[in-house]
Amino acid sequence: MTVMTSRILVVDDERMVRWSLRQALERVGYQVDEASTAAEALEHSGREAPDVVLLDHRLPDKTGLEVLRVLLKATPRLPVVMITAHASIDGAVEAMKEGAFHYLSKPFEVEDVLQTVQRALEMGRLREEVARRREEGLRSFGVQNIVAESPAMAAVVKMVRRVAQSEASTILLLGESGVGKGLVAHALHYESGAVEKPFVDITCTALTETLLESELFGHEKGAFTDARTQKKGLFELADSGTVFLDEIGDLTAAIQGKLLRFLEEKSFRRVGGTRDIRVNLRVIAATNKDLAQEVEAGRFRRDLYFRLNVIPIHIPPLRERREDILPLARGFVRHYNAEFRKQITGLSKPAEERLVSYSWPGNVRELRNAIERAMLLAEARELALDDLPLELRDQHASRTPPQSGADSFTLPPEGLSFEQLEKHLLIQALDRCRGNRTRAARLLGMNRDRIRYRIQKFGLEERFAESG
């Protein structure tokens, strides 16, 4: 038996029972406290918090069940082992339904007692670890991390709180690239009852169709050339937890069909497999596309769209929630102060005004990048307008670039800097495509080589490293 330095509280009105338990427990290194009544037990547990309680079912002043309820109300994660006679087994089972860890039946063997206590301690440590992870997760990803000074985002946060605690198995996050759909997805998981379960995310555009299918559903050994061993997919690994599928609007037709089957039946087959595997999890899907338009264009399955769109949450672009811009910027300053070991006190008034007036085509991601750059280059204690990226400092930067083709763009009366407009459109396209140069080239009606040339021309290689 492993020596443990844990505190055990023995509660029993029979002196010999307490003595024998103390002898057995102290022999392997436990610290032992005794109590002969419910009052003594509650006093002891309040003064010296035990790691495990061995609690007799019958006490002179209260029943063990009554004591159990008081103990667990004060310390919900405390492992309590009931001690009972054979005639009171039903009472012990009832106590376990109330939250007791286990029970010992008199007369008991010393080895059974030691094994039960050790298991109870392990369970107690596991409960503490789960609670710690939940608290850490809530601190890092809970809804309090979502800046919601604007009415639009306050409504989103309210919705997230309600949906997270619901039984919803499918949630659809909608919004432009960079608005914070990943942060909302994390909040939905960490505010739910499945916080101790896995949260796995995958960007649907990051892998080819074959690899994505293998990632989601897993594969059997020999299913394809490189399948040398069996592999569990993300759906299987995330059982009882959450899967976040980002950029779901880019799924191929074949994967769309398999995802629909999974959402409807909560079962799937590994690639090359013949057996259905059932899981219970929440799927959060996200896209920056208008799925209704994608359906009309024949690029997205109508039945899958309706299956995903049960609980849609639309996250507004940053330009529609300007009350959030400065709180976000100040939060990023605090973050990068810690990361870069700086002591920037804030932003100058002109810099703040520029941030608020800018259109933010790249949304929160672009704001974060802008503050990161400014923090790296700033020499004063306050971020000035000149510390901001050039596209923000330009007097026309707040003008939203054309959204529906060159014909819709009107040259302002005072003119503009063509190079700055070109750079602005390039950054917007790359941000929207998460740095994917091929997709950005399609958006701008040019080839990949021309995109690469302009990235080099405007010194954007580090910001948009090669990704396709």
Residue pLDDT, tens place only, 185-208: 999 998 888 877 889 888 888 888
Section 14-41 average pLDDT = 91
Please state, as a whole number, how many other Cβ atoms lie within 10 Å of the Cβ of residue 298. Answer: 9
Q: Which of 100-104, 226-230, 408-412 has the highest mean pLDDT?
A: 100-104
Lowest mean pLDDT among 276-280, 379-383, 385-389, 423-427: 423-427
Q: What is the pLDDT of residue 228?
A: 81
In the structure encoding, which two tokens stand for residue 159, read together?
């919705």
pLDDT at position 406, please? 47
CATH level 3 topology of 401-468: Arc Repressor Mutant, subunit A (1.10.10)
Tokens of 38: 């419910």
Q: Is the pLDDT of residue 397 over 80?
A: no
Band (409; pLDDT cuts 50, 70, 90): low
Lowest mean pLDDT among 19-23, 34-38, 130-134, 307-311: 130-134
3-class SS at 31? strand
The least confident of 49-63, 387-401, 403-417, 440-454 is 403-417
pLDDT band at 285 (very low <50, low <70, confident <90, very high): very high
- pLDDT band at 2; cut points 50, 70, 90: very low
Which phi and psi angles does 47 have, rounded to 5°? -85, -45
* Strand-pair category, 282-287 with 312-314: unpaired
Q: Does residue 238 contact residue 280 with C-beta atoms inside 8 Å?
A: no
The whole-number pLDDT of residue 400 equals 46
Instruction: Report the percent of the chain where pLDDT is more than 90.
Output: 48
Find the mean pLDDT for residues 305-326: 95
- Judged against a pLDDT cut of 50, whether residue 401 lies above it is answered with no
With a cut of 70, say whether residue 19 has pLDDT above it: yes
Lowest mean pLDDT among 30-34, 172-176, 258-262, 424-428: 424-428
In this prediction, residue 410 carries a pLDDT of 56
Per-residue confidence (pLDDT) for residue 347, from 0 to 100 = 95
Q: Averaged over 103-108, what is the pLDDT?
A: 84
Cα separations in angstroms, 35 against 10, 18, 67, 121, 307: 6, 8, 12, 20, 58
**384, 350 Cβ separation under 8 angstroms:** yes
Rg (CA), the chain: 30
d(CA 346, CA 254): 50
**Whole-number pLDDT of residue 458:** 82
- Residue-wise pLDDT for 35-70, tens only, equals 999 999 999 888 888 999 999 988 999 988 899 999
Running DSSP on this structure, what letter comes out for residue 100? -
Nearest to 286 by CA among 202, 381, 225, 351: 202
Place of tokens 């555009």: 205
User: Do residues 246 and 216 lie in contact, with contact meaning Cβ atoms separated by under 8 Å?
Assistant: no
What are the strands of the beta sheet with 52-56, ordered from one edge?
31-35, 7-11, 52-56, 80-85, 102-106
Cα–Cα distances (Å) from 430 to 317, 377, 453, 455, 463, in that order, read 17, 23, 14, 10, 10
7-135 and 150-316 have identical folds: yes
Alpha-carbon distance values, 329 to 143, 326, 364, 382 (Å): 18, 5, 9, 13
Q: Which residues face 268 on adjacent strands?
A: 277
Report domain extents, the chain: 7-135, 150-316, 319-399, 401-468
Please give the CATH number for the structural domain made up of 7-135: 3.40.50.2300
pLDDT of residue 404: 46
- Is domain 150-316 annotated with CATH 3.30.420.40? no
412 or 16, greater pLDDT: 16
Place of tokens 């002969």: 36
Return the structure tokens found at 190. Answer: 């960490």
Give the pLDDT confidence score for residue 55 in this predicted structure: 92
Q: In whole angstroms, give the CA distance from residue 357 to residue 388.
A: 13
d(CA 433, CA 444): 11
Task: Tell me what pLDDT residue 370 has.
Answer: 93
Residue 412: the pLDDT is: 58
Query: Exposed, middle or buried: residue 323 (CB in 10 Å: 0-12, 13-18, 19+)?
Result: middle
- Among 43-52, 137-146, 429-438, the range of highest mean pLDDT: 43-52
CB atoms within 10 A of CB 176: 22
Q: What is the pLDDT of residue 81?
A: 92
Mean pLDDT of 110-129: 87
Rounded percentage of the chain residues whose pLDDT exceeds 70: 91
Task: Report the C-alpha gap between 30 and 23 in whole angstroms.
Answer: 10
Could you tell me if 229 and 223 are in contact, meaning their C-beta atoms sit under 8 angstroms apart? no
Q: Return the pLDDT at 427.
A: 86
Q: Which of 93, 22, 10 is nearest to 55 (CA)?
A: 10
SS3 (DSSP) at 215: helix
CB 119 within 8 A of CB 54: no
Q: Where are the alpha helices (DSSP H) in 36-109?
A: 38-47, 64-74, 89-97
Q: E-strand spans in 116-269?
A: 170-174, 199-203, 218-219, 231-232, 242-246, 267-268
pLDDT at 125: 85
Least confident of 31-35, 129-133, 400-404: 400-404
Mean pLDDT value across residues 262-277 = 90
Look at residues 392, 396, 431 and name the one whose alpha carbon lies nearest to residue 411: 396
Q: What is the pLDDT of residues 64-97, one digit of tens each?
A: 889 999 999 888 889 999 988 765 667 767 888 8
Q: Which CATH fold would you assign to the domain 319-399?
A: Helicase, Ruva Protein; domain 3 (1.10.8)
Q: Is the model more confident about 302 or about 109? A: 302
How far does CA 284 lie from the centroid of its chain? Answer: 11
Q: What pLDDT shows up at residue 403?
A: 46
The mean pLDDT of the chain is 86
Which region among 116-125, 276-285, 410-419 has the lowest average model confidence (pLDDT)?
A: 410-419
How many residues make up the chain in this entry?
468
- CA–chain centroid gap for 197, Å, is 10
In contact, 185 and 244? CB cutoff 8 Å:
yes
